[in-house]
């Protein structure tokens, strides 16, 4: 069933999605459900992924080249790793219709905005970041409701066409997302705190556990409590994507990592000197933040995230 905003439409008649992993495939499924009259074209650099996408019927057509995918498109959405954006943009430049809008789904906006506008100086570039995902990847991991109730942050350049920004915002609302507009640099700082640093910590903790000489790998797996199990879920995320995220947003990530290191040192001192008040006050503040996230509808209040275990 179409949402009220979907009934109005965005004016897009032919949308091309380049990159058919979790986000790209989910976006195609969500657009098909919300805007069934739009023609959808997909492309992925991997022949195996293209074949899977055809089998799943993710789009009206899956092309063998990126250039063929964007011909006649009025919107092109790049769903490729952050550091592949510039090369993909350059590869489709000669095939893009002059009035096409270019967007993306990457989680590091300042570098993407700079690289896409440099590669496509004569096109309208309106970057966006749907803050949604799972630890799974590939076209078979996609599902239409991935963006429902999740935020999509749009980071247009200062000189962006307001009408183009509005059309991108409407598209994301139609697939169920909540929309916010933000400066690209500020976005990168916010996401360094809320997404990038937590992933870095998860990768580190899981790596540390696997390297412990006095704890066997089988014990780590067998006795994983809820906290460690959730870290492993985050640490199972796509390695190519997250490598590119950390390198592309390294200034903001390093700033947050320095702050985290200082806070961790303070926590270490509190434990060493038996400062129970400091520990209690910190845990009380962080508990309140967790409750706020639930109140905002960004997580399930059910115990253990509502999952059932045997």
3-state secondary structure 110-144: HHHHHHHHHHCCCCEECCEEECCCCCCCCHHHCCC
Of 77, 62, 195, the C-alpha closest to 128 is 77
Among the ranges given (72-86, 142-156, 205-219), the one the predictor scored with the smallest mean pLDDT: 205-219
pLDDT band at 307 (very low <50, low <70, confident <90, very high): low
Q: What does the chain come to in residues?
A: 310
CA dist 157 and 112 (Å) reads 11
Superfamily of domain 186-297 in the CATH hierarchy = 6-phosphogluconate dehydrogenase C-terminal like domain (1.10.3660.10)
Tokens 């490729």 sit on residue: 80
Most confident of 152-161, 186-195, 252-261: 152-161
User: Can you read off the two tokens belonging to residue 247?
Assistant: 């390198």
The answer, yes or no, to whether residue 2 has pLDDT greater than 50, is: no
Q: What pLDDT is attached to residue 3?
A: 39
Q: Whole-number mean pLDDT of the chain?
A: 86
Phi, psi of 128 (to 5 degrees): -150, 155
Please give the class, per CATH, of domain 4-182. alpha beta
Q: What pLDDT is attached to residue 89?
A: 96
222-240 pLDDT, tens digit each: 666 666 777 777 777 778 8
Q: For the whole model, what pTM was predicted?
A: 0.77
Domain boundaries along the sequence of the chain:
4-182, 186-297
CA dist 35 and 12 (Å) reads 10
pLDDT band at 180 (very low <50, low <70, confident <90, very high): very high
């Amino acid at each position: 069933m179409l949402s009220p905003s979907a009934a109005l439409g965005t004016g897009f008649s032919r949308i091309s999605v380049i990159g058919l992993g979790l986000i790209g495939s989910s976006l195609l499924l969500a657009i098909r459900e919300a805007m069934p009259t739009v023609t959808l074209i997909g492309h992925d650099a991997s022949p195996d992924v293209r074949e899977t996408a055809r089998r799943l019927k993710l789009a009206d057509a899956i092309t063998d080249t990126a250039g063929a995918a964007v011909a006649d498109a009025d919107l092109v959405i790049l769903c490729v790793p952050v550091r592949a954006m510039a090369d993909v943009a350059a590869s489709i430049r000669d095939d893009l219709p002059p009035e096409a809008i270019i967007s993306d789904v990457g989680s590091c906006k300042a570098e993407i905005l700079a690289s896409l506008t440099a590669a496509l100086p004569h096109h309208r570039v309106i970057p966006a970041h749907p803050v949604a995902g799972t630890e799974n990847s590939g076209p078979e991991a996609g599902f239409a409701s991935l963006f429902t109730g999740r935020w999509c942050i749009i980071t247009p350049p200062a000189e962006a066409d307001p009408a183009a920004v509005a059309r991108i915002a409407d598209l994301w609302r139609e697939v169920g997302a909540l929309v916010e507009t933000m400066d690209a640099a500020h976005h990168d700082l916010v996401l360094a705190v809320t997404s990038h640093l937590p992933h870095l910590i998860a990768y580190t903790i899981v790596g540390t556990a696997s390297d412990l000489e006095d704890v066997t790998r089988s014990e780590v797996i067998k006795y994983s409590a809820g906290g460690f199990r959730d870290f492993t879920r985050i640490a199972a995320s796509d390695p190519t994507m997250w490598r590119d995220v950390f390198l592309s947003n390294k200034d903001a990530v390093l700033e947050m990592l320095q702050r985290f290191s200082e806070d961790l040192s303070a926590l270490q001192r509190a434990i060493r000197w038996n400062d129970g008040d400091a520990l209690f006050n910190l845990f009380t503040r962080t508990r309140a933040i967790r409750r706020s996230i639930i109140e905002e509808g960004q997580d399930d209040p059910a115990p253990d995230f509502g999952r059932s275990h045997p």
